Homo-oligomer: A and B are copies of this chain.
Amino acid sequence: MAEDADQARKSIGARRNPDSAEAILEAAEAVLVEAGYAGFSIEAVARRARAGKPTIYRWWPSKAALLLEVYQRQKRVDVPDTGKLEEDLVGFLENLFAHWRETSSGSVFRSLIAEAQTDETAATALAGYAGGRRAHTGQIIERAKARGEVANDIDPAVVADLVASYAWRHLLTNRLDEPEATIRKVVHYLLQGIAASGR
Contacts of A196 in B (CB 8 A): 148-152
Interface of chain A, helix or strand or loop or mixed? helix
Contacts of A194 in B (CB 8 A): 141, 150-151, 154, 159, 190-191, 193
Q: A82 contacts the other chain (Cβ, under 8 Å)?
A: no
Can you list, as one digit per residue, whether each of A137-160 has a CB less than 8 Å from chain B (1) or not (0)? Answer: 000010000001111101100110
Q: Interface residues of A toward B: which range? A: 35 or more
C-alpha gap A189/B166 in the complex (Å) = 15
Establish whether residues A189 and B162, one from each chain, have CB atoms under 8 Å apart when the complex forms.
yes
Taking CB as reference atom, which chain B residue is nearest A113?
A: B172
Contacts of A113 in B (CB 8 A): 114, 117, 172
C-alpha gap A191/B186 in the complex (Å) = 12
Q: A127 contacts the other chain (Cβ, under 8 Å)?
A: yes
Establish whether residues B154 and A119, one from each chain, have CB atoms under 8 Å apart when the complex forms.
no
Contacts of A182 in B (CB 8 A): 158
Can you list, as one digit per residue, whether each of A157-192 has a CB less than 8 Å from chain B (1) or not (0)? Answer: 011011011101110111000000010011001111
Count the copies: 4
C-alpha gap A151/B188 in the complex (Å) = 13
Q: A18 contacts the other chain (Cβ, under 8 Å)?
A: no
Q: A130 contacts the other chain (Cβ, under 8 Å)?
A: yes
Q: A105 contacts the other chain (Cβ, under 8 Å)?
A: no
Taking CB as reference atom, which chain B residue is nearest A85?
A: B195
A192-B189 contact in complex given A162-B166, A166-B162, A172-B168, C-beta closer than 8 Å: no
Minimum CB–CB distance from A38 to chain B (whole Å) comes to: 4
Q: A46 contacts the other chain (Cβ, under 8 Å)?
A: no
List A residues at the B interface (Cβ < 8 Å): 36-38, 85, 110-111, 113-114, 116-119, 123, 126-127, 130, 141, 148-152, 154-155, 158-159, 161-162, 164-166, 168-170, 172-174, 182, 185-186, 189-199
